[in-house]
Structure 1
Amino acid sequence: GMEKFDGVLMEVAGQCGGIQPLLDVFFSFLYRKTDFFVVMEPGTEAKMGFADGVAEQLVLKVFHTYKKHADSTRSKLKKQPQQQQPPQPQQQQPPQQLQLSPPPPAATASVGAATASGTRAETPNEAGTGEGGMASEQSGVAAAPVAAPSTEPPASQSRIKEIQDVYNGGKTSKYTWEQTLHDVTLQVPVPAGTRARDVVCVITKTKLSLKIRGHEEALIDTCYPCDARNGQEIWEKVRADECTWSLEQSSAGPQVSVYLEKEREAWWKSALHGDNEIDTTQVDSSRSMYEYDGETQGAIRKIMFDQDQKRKGLPTSDELKNEDLLRQAWDAEGSPFKGTPFDPSKVNFNAGGGSDMPLPGMMPPPDGPSQ
C-alpha cells in the first residue's frame, strides 16, 4: 500500500522540518509538475486540469477520509479502561519532523464519520460523549445540558443565497449540493452556536438523516434520488463506510458539510429524493487527464506541449524529432554537409515529413529500397 512511499517521504519530511513546509513542497510539486491547478476552460481542445472548484473538492475528500481513520482510532483508545495505558503509536521519524503549526480554534471545524453500519461514530448515550463532541471534551469544555425543544427554524433559508455557486449541483431551501461522477457534497446551514455534539447525522446506504438536538424538526430525513431515465427505477446508494460529515464555519455562518461517496458512477438529478432536480445533460462531464490510460495521457501531453511551443514561437515535438534525425545524419558518411556546422535551415522538410535534400539514413537510396 501507501507504506512503500514512506522512505522517500520521510527523507522529504526530514528536510522540511515540519508539516506546513511539507505541505508547501507537495502542493508546489502539484503546481509545477502536474495539471492539478489548471482550470479547464470550456471549449478548449485539450482536456487538461479540472473545472473550477473540483481540485479543492478532491483535497477535501482525501482529508475527510484520513480524518475519519484518525477519529476512529482516537475513539477506540478513549474506550479503553483508564488504568490501562493506551499503546503509543510507533514513531517512524524524529519528533521534530512531526512538529505541527499552532492548531486552529477547536470550534472552527469538528469532524464526524460514518460507521460501518452507516451511522456516525458518535454518542453511546445522549450526554454528548461521542466522537462528534470529542474535540470539545479534549479542549476541556464541559458538556452542556440538552436544550429544550425549539420551534424556531434550524437554519435561515436566506443564508442559502449567500453560499457561492455550486459545481454540477444545485440549491434547495435547506442546503446546497454539488457532485462529481464519484461523489456528492452537501452544505447544510445550521443555527449559530451549534456544536458538533449537537449534530445527529446518520448516513446509511440508502438514506441521509440530519438533525440538531433541541429542534423537533429534522433538517434532512430522506432517501437518495431515484433514476428512472431508462424505463426502470434505480434508487441511488452510497458507500456508507466512506461517507463523512463535518461541522464547519463559513462566511455565511456555521454549516454541516456531508460527503457521500456514490456506489455507482452516475450523475444525480438531485442530492435527495423529491428535491429540485437539475438537467444532467448540462453538467461538466470532463475528466481529469489522470483518469485516462497511459497512451491517451501521452497524446494529451503532446498536444499541450505543441500548443505551448507554438505560443512561444518554438518548434513542436514533431519538428524537434525531425531536427534530431537531421542532426544524426548531418555528419554521417555520404552526407553533403559532413564537416560543416549544423544548420537545419539548409534542409527544408516537406509536408509529408521528408526532406528536399537526401541525407544518409533519412531517405532511401536512388535505386529504391534494398531487397
Structure 2
Amino acid sequence: MSAQADDYDKLTKEEREARDTADREREAAEQAALPYTWKQELGEVDIVVPVPKGTRARDLGVVIQKKKLSVGLKGKEPIMSGELCKDVKVEDSTWTVEDQEAVHIHLEKVNKQQWWENVLTHHPKIDTTKIQPENSKLSDLDGETRGMVEKMMFDNQQRQMGKPTSDELKKMEALKKFQEAHPELDFSNAKIS
C-alpha cells in the first residue's frame, strides 16, 4: 500500500471528501487537456478524437494493434499515438468517422474484468477505484449469472438481519430430515458448521 493510501486512512470524513473532490477536479482537468475524450465499460473503451471539419476516412491514418494505437491525418504528426495501457482484441476493435469531424474508436478489451487507468501509457491516469459502473439490470444477465447474483443478494440480506444464509438453511433442512429419519439418535450436542 502506498504512503498516500496510508495517509488517506488517517483522514477525517470531511478531509477525505475534500481530497476526493480535489483529485476529481485535477483528473477532470488532465483529461480535458488530452486531444481526445474517452469512456469505458468493463469490456470496452470508446474514444472520440476531434479532426478538422470535412475529414474523410481516406484522409486518416488509424492504426489499432494489440498494444498500440495511432490516430492522425495522413502525412501529418499523429493526434494521438503510443502504447495502450492494456491489450485489446484487434479483430473486434473498430473506428469510424462521424460527421466528417470526429473519429470514433471502439476498442474491445482482452481483460474484460479490469478498468483502464488511461488509454495511452504516457497520458495522465485516473483513479480506477473511484469508478462508478452503471447499474445493470438483473434482467440483462443470463440465467446462471442472475441466479448467482440473486443468491448473493439474498445471503447478504440474511446476514444483515442476523438470519441464516441459503447454504446454512440447506444444511439445517438436511439435518432436520436426517433427524426425522433417525429418531433413535441423540442430536442434542450436534454442531452445524
- What band does the TM-score fall into relative to the shorter chain? 0.5 to 0.7
Q: Which runs of 5+ in 1 are unaligned?
A: 1-169, 226-235, 303-370
Cα distance in 1 between the residues matched to 2:53 and 2:146: 49
| Structure 1 residue 222, shift from structure 2 partner | 0.3
Alignment partner, residue 220 of structure 1: 80
Cα distance in 1 between the residues matched to 2:94 and 2:84: 16
Aligned pair partner of 2:59 in 190, 198, 203: 198
Alignment partner, residue 347 of structure 1: none
1:210-359 to structure 2, matched below 5 A, reads 210-214=71-75, 216-225=76-85, 236-249=86-99, 254-265=101-112, 266-285=114-133, 287-288=135-136, 289=138, 290-291=140-141, 293-296=145-148
Query: Partner of 1:217: helix, strand, or coil?
Result: coil
Provide runs of 4+ in structure 1 moved above 4 Å. 296-302
Q: Identify if the C-alpha distance between structure 1 residues 264 and 180 changes in structure 2 by more than 3 Å, giving closer, same or farther.
A: same
Query: Partner of 2:102: helix, strand, or coil?
Result: strand
Higher relative contact order (CA 8 A, sep 6+): 2
| Structure 1 residue 177, shift from structure 2 partner | 0.6
Q: Identify if the C-alpha distance between structure 1 residues 185 and 208 changes in structure 2 by more than 3 Å, giving closer, same or farther.
A: same
Cα distance in 2 between the residues matched to 1:206 and 1:195: 25
Q: Identify if the C-alpha distance between structure 1 residues 262 and 172 changes in structure 2 by more than 3 Å, giving closer, same or farther.
A: farther
Identical-pair percentage: 33
| Structure 1 residue 181, shift from structure 2 partner | 0.8
- Tell me the TM-score normalized by structure 2: 0.55
| Structure 1 residue 220, shift from structure 2 partner | 1.6
Aligned pair partner of 2:48 in 187, 193, 207: 187
| Structure 1 residue 196, shift from structure 2 partner | 1.3
- Tell me the TM-score normalized by structure 1: 0.30
Cα distance in 2 between the residues matched to 1:173 and 1:276: 9
Contact 1:185 1:260 in 2 (8 A): yes
Q: Deviations over 1:236-281 (max 9, x none)?
A: 10000000001012xxx71001010111131111111111211111
Q: Give the partner amino acid of 1:277.
A: K
Aligned pair partner of 2:68 in 197, 207, 210: 207
Contact 1:189 1:256 in 2 (8 A): yes
Q: Give the partner amino acid of 1:270.
A: N
Cα distance in 2 between the residues matched to 1:243 and 1:283: 23
Contact 1:194 1:254 in 2 (8 A): yes
Q: Which has the higher strand share?
A: 2
Contact 1:172 1:275 in 2 (8 A): no
Alignment partner, residue 173 of structure 1: 34
1:94-173 to structure 2, matched below 5 A, reads 170-173=31-34
Q: Which runs of 5+ in 2 are unaligned?
A: 1-30, 155-182, 184-193
Contact 1:180 1:267 in 2 (8 A): yes
| Structure 1 residue 287, shift from structure 2 partner | 5.0
Query: Partner of 1:177: helix, strand, or coil?
Result: strand
Query: Partner of 2:91: helix, strand, or coil?
Result: helix
For the aligned residue pairs, the C-alpha RMSD in angstroms reads 2.6
Q: Give the partner amino acid of 1:254.
A: E
